[in-house]
Amino acid sequence: MKIALFTETFLPKVDGIVTRLTKTVTHLVRAGDEVLLFCPEGAPDTFMGARVIGVPALPLPLYPELKLALPRPLVAEALDAFKPDLVHVVNPAVLGLGGIWLARTRGVPLVASYHTHLPKYLEHYGMGMFEPLLWELLKAAHNQAALNLCTSSAMVEELSQHGIQHTALWQRGVDTDLFRPEWRNPAMRRKLAGAHGDSDSLLLYVGRLSAEKQIERIRPVLDALPQARLALVGDGPHRQQLEKVFAGSATTFMGYLGGEDLASAYASADAFLFPSSTETLGLVLLEAMAAGCPVVGANRGGIPDIVTDGVNGCLYDPDSPASLTAATERLLASTEQRQALRLAARAEAERWGWAGATQQLRRFYSEVVRPPLQLVA
């Protein structure tokens, strides 16, 4: 099958969407599919056998890490030369809207997928009044597609409630070969603790340092647990504000980590804290679980699809300010319980390999390209 992917974000950016896309492209090519990917400029010309076309882009004012790529004639020319069997737009915003228009005007089957809960992000940037309008725009875009894929059952339900049709669940995936408990390392623990010294309560956050991630909610946890240490892995537009929030606490800003270093960071921590209540999935939670790191996440969005409270992690109520502290204290209270959570977390992650997720995606593609025959009465 010849698949054209349109995405608003790709390499060299690091986030959950890029991880899913890179793993998906890798497995599509391995399965014999031909892939052409359109993304903002800056990515390599090829990736794992797929051709990549970078489109000139401008940084988003409120979030300069994200770039808006405006569709240009070169996009249409490349798509027409490729002659895809299917177009898949990922989080359509600007470039993706061009992909939708090109697919519709050329009669190419169209799939869309929803990965970032943009309407809920608005309130964290002082624009909550625009949420109803954004839902209408998303509905208009997504309802052009024959199939709209979501990464959690909560998002399937929410999109359906807002009038987005033809929704389905695209199962989660995680690299259980890279992220595994064996990477636990005393040297990495010392690096994560930094100048504050190691302790038996090393807390970890991995992800973008941005307003919608609600990372400042971790500060009261540190105030309640004076022996705890926190490592923040990642970077983003909210870093300077967070440095002020966590001033005077035992917090180390690590910047980006990748590959084996990131796997070791997960495996070496005592608890992974993920306060965000805007997640469609929360891929970093799955990575932490694969590495055997007990997790605390919000009982909201896609996270309850992954975390079962008291079984493979702990959930907290994002509407209760003290709940994150209480859940963290509960996780750290018993060494035996923490070990049980580690084992259960790893077992849960082992159910969700990228190969299986891509096999499911290819079945979705086949259904869209070759719809079932209609019986004539």
Could you report the per-residue pLDDT of 165-201, keeping only the tens digit for each?
A: 999 999 999 999 999 999 999 999 999 999 998 888 9
Structure tokens at 255: 């910047």
pLDDT at 281: 80
Distance separating the N- and C-terminal Cα atoms of the chain: 32
Task: Give pLDDT < 50 ranges for the chain.
Answer: none
pLDDT at 224: 97
CATH of domain 181-349: 3.40.50.2000
Cβ partners under 8 Å of residue 183, min gap 6 = 260, 263, 264, 266, 267, 268, 291
In the chain, what's the furthest Cα-to-Cα distance? 76
pLDDT at 59: 82
pLDDT at 371: 66
Is the separation of the CB atoms in 17 and 32 below 8 Å?
no
pLDDT at 373: 56
CA–CA separation, 84 and 81 (whole Å): 9
The residues spanned by each domain of the chain are 2-173+353-369, 181-349
Identical fold for domains 2-173+353-369 and 181-349, yes or no, is yes
Is the separation of the CB atoms in 76 and 70 below 8 Å?
no
pLDDT at 167: 97
pLDDT at 286: 95
Write the DSSP string, 46-86. Answer: EETTEEEEEE-EEEETTEEEEEEEPP-HHHHHHHHHH--SE
Domain 2-173+353-369 has CATH 3.40.50.2000: yes
pLDDT at 374: 56
Which stretches within 12-151 are classed as H helix?
16-30, 73-82, 95-106, 118-121, 131-142
CA–CA separation, 144 and 138 (whole Å): 10
